[in-house]
Amino acid sequence: MPEHVSGSRNLGTVTRVRRYPVKSMAGEDLQEARVTFAGLVGDRVYAFVQKDNHSDFPWMTGRQGHELILFQARFLEAPTTAEEFLPAEQFAAEVTTPEGQMFRMDDAKFTAHIEKRFGKAVWLRFSERSQTDACPVSIFGLSTVSALSDETGMQLDARRFRANFYVRWNDDRPYLEDSLVGSQVRIGEEVVVHLVKKDSRCIMITLDPETAAPAPVVLEKVMRAHDGCAGVYGAVLHEGIVRTNDPVCLVN
């Protein structure tokens, strides 16, 4: 485990900003995103909920149906960073299945398609607030992707970790983000994030983002060598816009 970060306030650079319009479906790269206390605007605003699941995790995700991560959602009129408050209709979206079939997100036929394909009774939930598992935003270091590639003997695609911000740290030690838990970082000129905890992982990281093929060794390595965690979660303390190539600086 790396020692606590000290010294230079500039820790690294955001190389990739990603948003996931539908929970557990494919994400999209952004040049810029408005970040609110609830997360990236447009991130995980749609989610399917299992009707017969009364546990503390009722979501229908790639855990239950691996191919869900291959569905590609897009907003019909993508939310812009110019507006702070958007009406619900601004988030109208359509989805393309892995076979190329297209549906409106709110079409009952699409819900029926999901139910038939995955054998689960579900209902569609919409919220302007990000429907994340734990915290509004997540951060993942590129050096951690490289280290896990070495550990697993696979060339891992960073997208399988489904983070919002991918960062190239100035200090390229793997798992550097772990040492930042408890600290605050400023991303770009405005956004301040308190890094709350490490990101506990599940079978989602075993799924190839291009094929949904599982590679159990990825989760096995994370469980055995890294206490089941990879990447970090954060709470947003100050809202604003984050852009690709923005600096990440230590606040405290």
* SS3 of residue 158 by DSSP: helix
pLDDT value, residue 252: 72
Whether 167 maps to a domain, the answer reads yes
Domain range enclosing 164: 10-250
pLDDT digits 0-9 by tens, 45-80 = 999 999 988 898 999 999 999 999 999 999 999 888
Span between the terminal Cα atoms of the chain, in Å: 20
Q: How many domains does the chain have?
A: 1
Average pLDDT, the chain: 94
Q: Is residue 4 part of a domain?
A: no
Q: Which of 249, 244, 158, 149 is nearest to 195 (CA)?
A: 249
CA distances from 241 to 59, 134, 170, 244 (A): 29, 22, 22, 10
Residue-wise pLDDT for 169-217, tens only, equals 999 999 999 999 999 999 999 999 999 999 999 999 999 999 999 999 9
**pLDDT band for position 150 (50/70/90)?**
very high
Decide if 63 is inside a domain: yes
Q: Is residue 149 part of a domain?
A: yes
What is the per-residue pLDDT for 2?
Answer: 39
Any domain includes 223: yes
pLDDT(44) > 70: yes
Assess if residue 5 is contained within a domain: no
What CA–CA distance (Å, rounded) separates 241 from 11? 19
Residues 233-242: what's their mean pLDDT?
A: 98
Whether 1 is covered by a domain: the verdict is: no
Indicate which CATH number applies to the domain containing 240: 2.40.33.20
Residue 181, domain member (yes or no): yes
pLDDT average, residue stretch 141-167: 98
Overall average pLDDT of the 223-230 stretch: 97
Tokens of 197: 């905890």
Question: Other C-beta atoms within 10 Å of 235: how many?
Answer: 17
